[in-house]
Structure 1
Amino acid sequence: MSRAFILLLDSFGLGATPDAAKYGDAGANTFGHIASTVAKSGKTLTLPTMERLGLGAAAHLASGEWATGFEQRDGFTGAYGAARERSTGKDTQSGHWEIAGVPVEFDWGYFPRTTPSFPQDLTDKLKAISGVPGFLGDCHASGTDIINKHGDEHVATGKLIIYTSGDSVMQIAAHEASFGLERLYDVCEMAFKLVEPYNIGRVIARPFTGSNGSYTRTSNRHDYAVPPPAPTLLDHVKNAGGEVVGLGKISDIFATQGISRVVKGVDNMALFDALLKTADEVGDKSLTFVNFVDFDQAYGHRRNTEGYADALREMDARLPEFMAKLKPGDLVVITADHGCDPTWHGSDHTREHIPMIFFGPGVAPRALGISESFSDIGQTLAHHLGVAPLANGVNVL
């Protein structure tokens, strides 16, 4: 039996890439800075399961430095390395698509770091066709912050909260009860058609609940996304008769292309529970792809270093549960899609190496070095599953 699992820790970068200065990210290091910041507070970031697999050594390959508190130098149980992005930018879609064998060879459109961020013509057209009374925010922002800032006025007036980030994205937030979830989805579909001339990758519906300045985003997020421009690993697996299970926002990122089954979860641990259940269900030649989004949206963008550290500890503590479900022929990779250094300026992603840590019953522990494309991950999994090779990447195992 051959099964494959991608465990993507959204935004878990291992240090700036050689071209990071072009993005204003020279010196960024999500993992390294979390470890050193936690140490300065008198604590230690201990991730024993991932350290044994080779996380610390992979980070050393990427940054040239050993993360504070990570002392293991040999005896690793995984095949570990790091990868640099060939795609331009540091977007969610670009990172995921490149992992799946399709680097983004074009430039996305982005909304400027101004207030307002969105062109007047765009918001005028959206207001006219949607019938909403207006918009709040209209800037680069952290989603949780802007919802709490404008939530009361939104509920009172019906004006939508709109914002963007360093991604090629327009995000639209609304209260599930006062505005309505289906109505929010309808507006986002309208917006997705309107942003096409701007070459924007996604429009994200960001529903929330709560009252009186205390609001919480729900799991009913939905991304309206441009599909990958070429067949990905997901398509290759599905076309070969294998099941492709997308956990979390994977289906949205790939615009449902190549997905057999969608599983949602409200947070990292709900998704981990779903991963355990999926591992019991999927069969030969299956691909399970899970995005643990809290690292990015709840901690990276919010520049919450301690929260990010706690989430890493929580993930590491539960990994043995998943490992116990692995069968002969299973191959797992722990990776990321970009960085989001919580100690960095602003609230956007950072251009960093990503981890490339393979493990499973038949994986021989060794150092893999640094790959020049995220697509080496997808090509390795395609080879393992015996499906058609991808157009990009090399098998590193």
Structure 2
Amino acid sequence: MSRTVILVIDGFGIGAMPDAGRLRPGDARADTLGRLLDHHRARTGRALPLPGLAALGIGAVHPHPDLPRTPSLPVTAGRAGLGYPGADTYAGHQTMMGADFSHVTVARLAEHAGEVAAALRAAGRRVERWEGRPLLVVDGHTLVHDNLEADPGINWNASGRLEETTFEQVLAIASTVREVAPVARVIAVAGHSAQPLPCHVREGDGGTLGLDTPASGFYRNGGLEVRHLGAPLDHTRQLPDLAARAGAAVTLVGKAADLLACAAAVRRPAVATAEVLAHTAEAVQATGDRPALVVANVQETDLAGHQQDADRYVEVLRRVDAGLEHLAGLLTSPGDRLIVTGDHGNDPLIGHGYHTREFVPVLVSHPGRAAAGAPVPDAASLADVGATAAVGLGLDPAALGNGRPLPLGPLSGASSRR
């Protein structure tokens, strides 16, 4: 077994998938990384420096004049389709860890509002429809509504303003909704807003109705608290649980600490990119020679995409890039792996604040192996990322619920750590 780090850059797409324009035709031109590179050059007259990603082969899978085509580290570079409908962080991470999420249930709250309201009332809650429409106001302070940041019908939210309630109350309401919700994820969200939340309710795509969370100020006012309540899955067939049962130390960092199930894992929740990177590096250093799996999520790139703030996205991406250089310097033993990928796109210059359905990079640094001469064929699913990590950890990828490992090539004279 070796040490393996999977770093997920949330919302880091590298070009639209063939079906990206099915819901929103304009998304057929989505390209999160390409647009950021062009934006930076247009503003500064210079290429955006991303030496960490360049060393890992990003230019080999995203040809762009501002990116070198050849990696400087021993890597295998490729890209992956998402392997699940839409473009969603929860579904992306569950798929990546080995779940078959190709058939998530898609439903608007309007189709189940009566059932949800009845469950909340049975739990002792006061429930009203907002202006008679399919958006529920619970106990006068928490909104239960369609999530407007993912594709319509994939997620529902329970949102509360911290000036009026506590996150614990919002989470309790979300937990009741989760018991009857048919969708992939119910998200409890609480933050600070200068105005009552109904001021920021709007209609979304596909007949949805919900809180415009970026407009509410939750993402920029500090104090944001989030909990993702996912649909039931067989977590014993996902990578963290499989690795822990085999004796690896498992650490979940950032949003991954909230999204992924593993009773044996050490959890390091964080939103700030500097904290996510620091926790990830500390987890690697703490393992020494012991086998380990670290799964980390950098969330601030995704938040910048939702805010349609390309400058902020660039700033966060440069911080991530510096962190990648540091992590690559820690993972130098034969058998160690640093896997850099995304969970979907979030093009901040596409003209809306939704996720975009894009391919994501799969950059695998593996000391002791020869670098691939050309990018590997596209992976059909993010599940192939988890399967690739399983092989590096000495695990049987067939024990996962889904996924096929990428071909990494033979060792170059050094044996993998056992």
**TM-score bin, normalised by smaller chain:** 0.7 to 0.9
Which structure 1 segments of 5+ residues have no match?
61-65, 141-152
Q: 1:259: how far off?
A: 5.2
The percentage of counterpart residues that share the same residue type is: 24
CA 1:118–1:270: 2 relative to 1, 3 Å: farther
**CA distance change for structure 1 residues 97 and 210 in 2, over 3 Å: closer, same or farther?**
closer
1:333 Cα offset (Å)? 0.4
Instruction: Provide the C-alpha distance between the structure 2 equivalents of 1:285 and 1:4, rounded to a whole number of angstroms.
Output: 8
Q: What residue in structure 1 maps to residue 250 of structure 2?
A: 244
Match of 1:208 in 2: 191
Cα distance between partner residues in 1 of 2:62 and 2:87: 19
Which of residues 18, 21, 36 in structure 1 aligns to 2:38? 36
**Counterpart check, 1:368 vs 2:375:** yes
Output the CA distance in 2 between the equivalents of 1:228 and 1:389. Answer: 18
Q: Residue 394 of structure 1 corresponds to which residue in structure 2?
A: 405
* TM-fit CA distance, 1:350: 1.2
CA contact (8 A) 1:11 1:300 kept: yes
SS in 2 for 1:371: coil
Partner secondary structure for residue 252 of structure 2: strand
Question: Please, what TM-score do these two structures have when normalized by structure 2?
Answer: 0.79
Q: How does 1:138-287 map to 2 (within 5 A)?
A: 158-160=141-143, 162-165=145-148, 166-167=150-151, 168-176=154-162, 178-195=164-181, 199-209=182-192, 216-218=221-223, 220-229=225-234, 231-254=237-260, 256-257=261-262, 260-282=265-287, 284-287=290-293
Please state whether the residue corresponding to 1:173 is helix, strand or coil: strand
Give matches, 1:25-104, under 5 Å.
Answer: 25-43=27-45, 44-60=47-63, 66=64, 68-70=65-67, 72-74=68-70, 76-77=72-73, 78-104=75-101
AA aligned to 1:131 is R
> Which amino acid is the alignment partner of residue 101 of structure 1?
G
Alpha carbons of 1:211 and 1:327: their partners in 2 closer, same or farther (altered >3 Å)? same
- In structure 2, C-alpha distance between the alignment counterparts of 1:75 and 1:252, rounded to whole Å: 33
Residue 125 (structure 1) aligned with residue 118 (structure 2): yes
Q: Any idea what the Cα deviations from partners look like across 1:260-299, whole Å, max 9, x if unmatched?
A: 2211113111111111211111353311000111111x21
Conserved? CA contact 2:345–2:358, under 8 Å: yes
Match of 2:13 in 1: 13
Counterpart AA for 1:393: R
Check conservation: 2:253, 2:296, Cα contact below 8 A.
Answer: yes
Using the alignment, how far apart are the partners of 1:316 and 1:111 within structure 2?
Answer: 38
Q: Distance in 2 between matches of 1:372 and 1:266?
A: 29
Structure 1 302/132 Cα, relative in aligned 2: closer, same or farther at 3 Å? farther
Query: Secondary structure in 1 aligned to 2:21?
Result: helix
- Between the aligned partners of 2:244 and 2:310, the Cα distance in structure 1 is 38
Structure 1 position 137, deviation (Å): 10
Residues 234, 323 of structure 1: CA spacing in aligned structure 2 closer, same or farther, 3 A cutoff? same
Over the aligned positions, Cα root-mean-square deviation in angstroms equals: 2.9
Instruction: Measure how far apart 1:244 and its partner are.
Output: 1.8
Contact 1:331/1:363, CA 8 A, preserved across alignment:
no
How far apart are the structure 1 equivalents of 2:100 and 2:131?
32
- CA spacing shift, 1:382–1:159, aligned 2, 3 Å: closer
Q: Paired residue for 2:337, among 331, 344, 351?
A: 331
**Is the 1:205–1:223 Cα contact (8 Å) retained in structure 2?**
yes
User: Aligned residue pairs: how many?
Assistant: 368
- Counterparts in 2 of 1:80 and 1:138: CA distance versus 1, 3 Å: farther
SS at match of 2:22: helix
TM-score using structure 1 length: 0.83
